[in-house]
Structure 1
Amino acid sequence: MQRERKNYYFVLSGNEHCNDGKIYKIRQVCTYMMEEANDSSTSVGTGTSEDPQSSTYRSCWVCFGTDDDEHMKWVKPCRCKGTTMWVHHACLMRWIDEKQKGHSFTKVKCPQCNTEYVVVFPPFGKLTSFIQTIDHIVFKASPIAATGVLLGSIYWSAVTYGAITVMQVLGHKEGLDMMERADPLFLLVGLPMIPVGLVLGKMIQWDDYLLRLWKKHSSKLVYLKKLIFGTRPSQEGTSTILPPSPVEMRQTREIKFTRVLCGALIFPTVATIFGKLLFHSVESNFQRSALGGASFVILKGFLNIYLKYQVQSRMGQREIKDYVEPVPQLETAT
């Protein structure tokens, strides 16, 4: 151990060096710093170039090389003092490249004193600067352009869907005549509102409201309740339904976006089919589709109410059984 600064030096044979129990194949002398030097222990211009206390002594904190390395450029890139003050320019550039990971404009700081390294790039020529500027503008504008393309695709898809729906509900010829006579601005605004209105209408859970209303007043309509929903043998004498738990209420109010979207977009086709099957005597295509859509909504709502009522009735009539000790089975003699 040498000097008051408590630096340990290990001189090994060959180019293998020990630093804190690790083997490094770098140079002949490896310094292991135990404590930071006191301000009073360093003075400029004292000692020779081989003395680590001297301000002229240089040791690279990346590769632990010394002044014995010829043709190596040295830099002092931060506020560090002592053995971490000097570093090879090439070693530091490789270390910065590893930290930046290909992003040359990422700021890198000293791991010891937290000083930001000042990295200066050589100037480009006019052509290179122009190309780099264009590339930077394209890089910044790409997210905005992609968002615009996505929104434009959604908008024109909605316009196309609206036009197809009009021709499907009114009839192909009648729908085309109506859109040809209409104002183009009205079509550009009105046609995309058709799928939006269908989705918003699909999100209204009116069957849940009717179910709560039915459960509130069903005690006054006992016979109608038995006629519609029926009564199980196990429900006789215990027809009281417990109120749904918060978990059940949350599951009831949960809206699946994919289901809502698919149901809303397919609704005009279903309405047209129901209208042709149930109201084929109606001459107007619009009235036939409207009646078919209303019939489908009422039928689907009634089935949903019936299913939810039966599920909640079953949940309210659950029972927890007593634990029964399992009977051990006797092994039969072979």
Structure 2
Amino acid sequence: MQKAGFSALCCPLGVTKYDAFFESLVFAFFKYRLISKACPFAAAGIMVGSIYWTAVTYGAVTVMQVVGHKEGLDVMERADPLFLLIGLPTIPVMLILGKMIRWEDYVLRLWRKYSNKLQILNSIFPGIGCPVPRIPAEANPLADHVSATRILCGALVFPTIATIVGKLMFSSVNSNLQRTILGGIAFVAIKGAFKVYFKQQQYLRQAHRKILNYPEQEGA
């Protein structure tokens, strides 16, 4: 087995000699194995750290956007650093979890079940209380990768939309926080109403769908 040490080498084009250091095979193999084992953990650590600090930055920007730039900076300067390091990354996580709550589906099921007792719902959403010939199967929206990315993007953009809607609809409110909260509630309510109506119309269309026989051509 080759041992580590110096050995003299001679240039083939001249007579100059060089001293070269040869690494032992055992040490070279151990170093290769160590690097191969450590690289995946290092890459995972770098990725997790990048995601964490991105979440921290997003949380800080969201606080300044919702509360106000100056007020947000004052709040974060007075807060405990440990609380900020733990609390700020939870903001995007809570937004994503809140976006995954499909409250429109629960409201639509309740309205379909009790709409016959509330006749006003039939005038707002036609066909909710009407009997359907069959119940169509509804796909799970989380199974589609497009819906998953839509949930992620919608959750992260929601504070900006709530701020814009609050400024447009509740400009008379002086508090930035109250204006943003009211804007978020109004946006969620309006969007939810449109989504409920669209889903109900799609539900009725699929429930009354019929498969017709293919018309045979004359002379065929």
Residue correspondence of structure 1 range 1-334 to structure 2 within 5 A? 122-125=1-4, 127-128=23-24, 129-222=26-119, 224-230=120-126, 239-245=130-136, 248-251=137-140, 254=143, 256-328=147-219
Gaps of at least 5 residues in structure 2 are 6-22
In structure 2, do the counterparts of structure 1 residues 193 and 136 end up closer, same or farther at CA, with 3 Å as the change threshold? same
The equivalent residue for 1:116 is none
The 1:138/1:252 distance shift into structure 2, 3 A limit, reads closer
Q: Distance in 2 between matches of 1:198 and 1:260?
A: 10
The Cα shift of 1:184 comes to: 0.1
Give the counterpart letter for 2:191 in structure 1. Answer: K
Higher relative contact order (CA 8 A, sep 6+): 2
Displaced runs of 4 or more, over 4 A: 252-255
- Do the aligned partners of 2:161 and 2:184 also contact (CA within 8 Å) in 1? yes
SS of residue matched to 1:324: coil
User: 3-state SS of the aligned residue for 2:139?
Assistant: helix
Return 5+ residue gaps in structure 1 as ranges: 1-121, 232-238, 330-334
The structure-2 alpha-carbon separation of the partners of 1:243 and 1:298, relative to structure 1 and needing over 3 Å to count, comes to: farther
Deviations 1:15-69 (A, max 9, x none): xxxxxxxxxxxxxxxxxxxxxxxxxxxxxxxxxxxxxxxxxxxxxxxxxxxxxxx
Q: Is the 8 A contact 2:104 2:195 kept in 1?
A: yes
| 1:198 Cα deviation from its structure 2 partner | 0.3
Deviation at 1:195, TM superposition (A): 0.2
Question: Please, which moves more after superposition, 254-263 or 186-195?
Answer: 254-263
Q: Secondary structure at the match of 2:171?
A: coil
Matched-pair contact (CA < 8 Å) for 2:134–2:208: no
Tell me the SS of whatever aligns to 2:209: coil
Distance 1:252 1:218 in 2: 25
Offset of residue 130 of structure 1: 3.4
C-alpha distance after superposition, 1:180-235 (max 9, x if no partner): 0000000000000000000001111111011100000112233x23421236xxxx
Inter-partner Cα distance in structure 1 for 2:33 and 2:142: 48
Change (3 A) 1:253 1:125: closer
CA distance in 2, matches of 1:132, 1:181: 53
Q: 1:159 to 1:253 in 2, by over 3 A?
A: closer
- What is the TM-score with the length of structure 1 in the denominator? 0.56
Q: From the two aligned structures, give the one with the greater helix fraction.
A: 2
Deviation at 1:254, TM superposition (A): 4.4
CA distance in 2 between partners of 1:199 and 1:136 (Å): 40
Q: CA deviation at 1:252?
A: 5.3
Aligned to 1:10: none
CA RMSD of aligned residues (A): 2.0
Q: Secondary structure at the match of 1:250?
A: coil
Judging changes above 3 Å, is the alpha-carbon distance between structure 1 residues 289 and 203 closer, same or farther for their aligned structure 2 residues?
same
1:132–1:149 Cα change, 3 Å: same
The CA deviation at 1:139 is: 1.4
The 2-side partners of 1:243 and 1:250 are apart by 16
Q: 1:242: how far off?
A: 4.0
Select the structure of larger CA radius of gyration.
Answer: 1
Q: CA shift at 1:278, angstroms?
A: 0.3
TM normalised by structure 2 equals 0.83
- Give the letter for the 2:206 counterpart: M
> CA–CA distance in 2 between the matches of 1:182 and 1:302?
38
SS at match of 1:194: helix
